Amino acid sequence: MNEELKNDLPQVEEVVVECEATEDEPCCSEMLGDVVAETVTIEQGGAQNVKAETINVSQGGIAHAEGKFIDVKDGGIALAMGENMTVTDGGVAVAIAENVQMTDAVAVFVAANQVGGENVKVIFDVRAAVVFGVVLGVVAGMFSRLLGRKA
């Protein structure tokens, strides 16, 4: 087991956080936090940063997930980094992994050695991102030259 993934905190069965929003202080800032453990399961909830060996998300979301095995069902992750990732009926903004399997899922950017699945929509893969970057660089360069001559 990787020493970074150990969680020395005592096990807690359930955590309930109640808060009321005010104009000066936003509601429930303590609910979105960092989770470090061997296995993390999120059902109908969310977390900001999760680092674990195994991450399971069902009808929930994570801003940044880092783990060996990541499984998403009916949920989403903004940035997911891992070895093996499966997404079913969900979405990932950025997926970086060795193997990605997706079913009825959407991803904005996927960088993986193997990508598979059915009914998958990937906006950018590595090749498309490189082409987009080159075109954007050329267009930005042309605009800077045109605007630079007028100044």
Give pLDDT tens digits for 85-107: 999 999 999 999 999 999 999 99
Q: What pLDDT, on the 0 to 100 scale, is given for residue 77?
A: 94
The conformation of residue 103, written as its DSSP 8-state character, comes to E
Cα(111)–Cα(126) distance, rounded to whole angstroms?
6
**What's the pTM?**
0.66
Residue 135 neighbours by CB distance under 10 Å = 10
Residue 95 neighbours by CB distance under 10 Å = 27
Structural domain boundaries, residue 77: 3-150
Who has greater pLDDT, 58 or 17?
58
| pLDDT tens per residue across span 111-121 | 888 888 899 88
Q: What's CA 95's distance to the chain center, in Å?
A: 7
Q: What pLDDT, on the 0 to 100 scale, is given for residue 130?
A: 84
| pLDDT tens per residue across span 53-75 | 999 999 999 999 999 999 999 99
